[in-house]
Structure 1
Amino acid sequence: MERSWWNYELHKRKIVSFSLLLVFLWSLTSINWNKDLFHSGGLNTAKQIGAAIFSPDLSNDILLLALESSLTTLSYAVAGMSLALVIAFFWGILASGVLFSISKNNRYVKRFFRGHLGFMRAIHELVWAWLFVASIGLSPFAAIFALAIPYGGILGKIFADMLEDVRTEPIKALEAAGAGKWQTLMYGYLPMVRASIVSYAMYRFECAVRSSAIMSFVGIGGLGYQIQLSLDDLQYNQVWTFVFFLIFLVLLIDMWSNFLRNQLTSVNRAIKQLKTSVFLMILLLIGSWLSIFTIENANLSAVFTKENLHYTIQFFKGLIGIGEDQPAFLSSESWANALSLTWETLLMSIIATGFATIAAIFTMVPAARNVADGSLTLAKKWHGWLSFGMVRSGYIFTRAVPELIWAMIIIFVFKPGILPGAIALALHNYGILGKLLAEVIEDLDSRPIRNLASCGANKIQILLLGVLPATLPRFLTYILYRWEVIMRTTIVVGFVGAGGLGQQFKLSMSFFHYTDITLFLFFYLVLVYAADFISEKVRLVIK
Structure 2
Amino acid sequence: MAKTFTKTHQKSYLTIILIGAFIWSLFSVQWSSELFHAGGFATLFQIVQALFQPNLSADILLLAVRSTWITLSYAVAGVGLAIVIAFVLGILASGIFFDDGRLGITLKTIFRAILGFLRAIHELVWALIFVASFGLSPYAAIFALALPFGGILGRIFADMLADVQEAPIQALKSTGASKWQLFFYGYFPIVKTGMLSYTMYRFECGIRSSAIMSFVGLGGLGYQIQLSLDDLHYDEVWTFIFFLITIVVLVDWWSSHLRNKLNHYSKHWFVPFSTLLTIGLLIGAWSYIYIIDKASFLELFSERNLSFAKKFFANMFGLGEEEPAFFDWASWKNAISLTYDTLQMSIMAIGFSTILMFLTVLPAARNVANGRLTLSGRWYSWISFSLIRLSYIFSRAIPELVWAMMIIFIFKPGILPGAIALALHNFGILGKLCAEVVEDLDARPVRHLASSGASKGQILLYGVVPSVLPRFLTYILYRWEVIMRTTIIVGFVGAGGLGQQFKLSMSFFHYSDITLLLFCYIILVWIADFISEWARKTVK
TM-score, length-normalised on structure 2? Answer: 0.98
Shift of 1:12: 2.0
Separation in 2, partners of 1:460, 1:416: 41
Give the Å deviation of 1:457. 4.5
Amino acid at match of 1:423: I
The aligned amino acid for 1:506 is K
Aligned to 2:172: 174
Contact 1:349 1:483 in 2 (8 A): yes
Q: Which residue of 2 aligns with 1:380?
A: 377
Report the residue type matching 2:277 in the other structure: L
Whether 2:343 is the aligned partner of 1:346: answer yes
Larger deviation, residues 300-309 vs 283-292: 300-309
- Written as runs of structure 1 = structure 2, the 5 A alignment for 1:82-161 is 82-161=80-159
- Whether 1:185 and 2:188 are equivalent positions in the alignment is no
2:416 to 400, 419, 436: 419
User: Partner of 2:352 in structure 1?
Assistant: 355
Return the alpha-carbon distance in structure 1 between the equivalents of residues 224 and 216 of structure 2: 13
Deviation (angstroms), 1:344? 0.6
In the other structure, the counterpart of 1:364 is: 361
8 Å contact 2:478–2:532 — kept in the other structure?
A: yes
Matched residue SS, 2:377 = coil
Query: Do the aligned partners of 2:258 and 2:270 also contact (CA within 8 Å) in 1?
Result: no
1:251–1:318: structure 2 CA closer, same or farther, 3 Å change rule? same
The residue that corresponds to 1:263 in the other structure is 261
4+ residue runs over 6 A deviation: none
Give the Cα–Cα distance (whole angstroms) in 2 for the partners of residues 204 and 490 of structure 1: 19
Deviates more, 1:489-498 or 1:446-455: 446-455
Using the TM superposition, name which of 533-542 and 181-190 deviates more.
Answer: 533-542
CA distance in 2, matches of 1:451, 1:211: 46
Provide the residue aligned with 1:476 in structure 2: 473
1:511 aligns with 2:508: yes
Distance 1:364 1:203 in 2: 21
Amino acid at match of 1:532: D
Segment drifting more, 17-26 vs 361-370: 17-26
For 2:60, the equivalent position in structure 1 comes to 62
Seen in structure 2, the aligned counterparts of structure 1 residues 461 and 296 have a Cα distance that, compared at 3 Å, is farther
Structure 1 residue 452 displacement after superposition: 3.4
Q: Is the 8 A contact 2:418 2:487 kept in 1?
A: yes
Q: Distance in 2 between matches of 1:146 and 1:288?
A: 16
Cα distance in 2 for residues equivalent to 1:458 and 1:495 = 49
State the alpha-carbon separation in 1 of the partners of residues 176 and 116 from structure 2.
Answer: 35
Partner residue, 2:34? 36
What does residue 391 of structure 2 align with?
A: 394
1:413 is paired with a residue of what secondary structure? coil
For these two proteins, the number of residue pairs brought into alignment is: 539
1:189 to partner: Cα distance: 1.1
- In 2, Cα distance between the equivalents of 1:388 and 1:9? 34
Q: Is the 8 A contact 1:356 1:433 kept in 2?
A: yes
Q: Which residue of 2 aligns with 1:520?
A: 517
For residue 297 of structure 1, give the secondary structure of its aligned residue in structure 2. coil
- Residue 8 of structure 1: CA displacement? 4.1
Report what 1:407 is aligned to: 404
Q: Mean alpha-carbon deviation: is it higher for 180-189 or for 73-82?
A: 180-189
Q: Which one-letter code corresponds to 1:331 in the other structure?
A: D
Three-state SS of the structure 2 residue aligned to 1:13 is helix
Q: Secondary structure at the match of 1:32?
A: coil
Task: Name whichever of 186-195 and 206-215 sits farther off.
Answer: 186-195
Per-residue deviation at 1:222?
0.5
d(CA) in 2 for partners of 1:250, 1:538: 31
Q: Say which SS state the counterpart of residue 176 (structure 2) adopts.
A: coil
Q: Tell whether 2:50 aligns with 1:15.
A: no
Deviations 1:444-472 (A, max 9, x none): 12123223334554554333322221112
* Percentage of identical aligned residues: 61
1:352 Cα offset (Å):
0.2
Structure 2 unaligned segments of length 5 or more: list them.
none
Range 460-469 or range 425-434, more displaced: 460-469
Q: Which amino acid aligns with 1:284?
A: L
Q: CA deviation at 1:18?
A: 1.6
Structure 1 position 442, deviation (Å):
1.0
Structure 1 stretches of 5 or more lacking a match? none
Contact 1:213 1:225 in 2 (8 A): yes
Query: Structure 1 residues 458, 492: CA separation in 2 closer, same or farther (over 3 Å shift)?
Result: farther
The partner residue of 1:251 within 249, 252, 260 is 249
CA distance in 2, matches of 1:457, 1:527: 46
| 2:232 counterpart (231, 234, 251) | 234
CA deviations 1:273-331 (Å, max 9, x no partner) are: 31111111101100000001122221111101122111111111111111100111111
In 1, the alpha carbon distance for the partners of 2:177 and 2:278 equals: 32
1:123-151 C-alpha deviation (Å, 9 max, x unpaired): 00000001111111111111100000000
Match of 1:328 in 2: 325
- Kept in 2, the 8 Å contact 1:13–1:472? The answer is no
Aligned-partner SS, 1:415:
coil
Structure 1 Cα separation of the partners of residues 457 and 42 of structure 2: 35
Measured on the aligned residues, the alpha-carbon RMSD in Å equals 1.4
Contact 1:174 / 1:188 at 8 angstroms: preserved in 2?
A: yes
Report whether the alignment pairs 1:281 with 2:278. yes
Using a 3 Å threshold, how does the CA distance of structure 1 residues 49 and 457 change in structure 2: closer, same or farther?
Answer: farther
Indicate the SS of the match to 1:375.
coil
Matching residue's letter, 1:116 = I
Q: Secondary structure at the match of 2:422?
A: helix
Distance change (3 Å), C-alpha of 1:278 and 1:336: same
Mapped partners of 2:125, 2:197: distance in 1: 27
Cα distance in 1 between the residues matched to 2:413 and 2:52: 27
**What CA deviation, in whole Å up to 9, does each residue of 1:408-431 have, x standing for no partner?**
010010000000000000000000
Query: Which moved further from structure 2: 204-213 or 251-260?
Result: 251-260
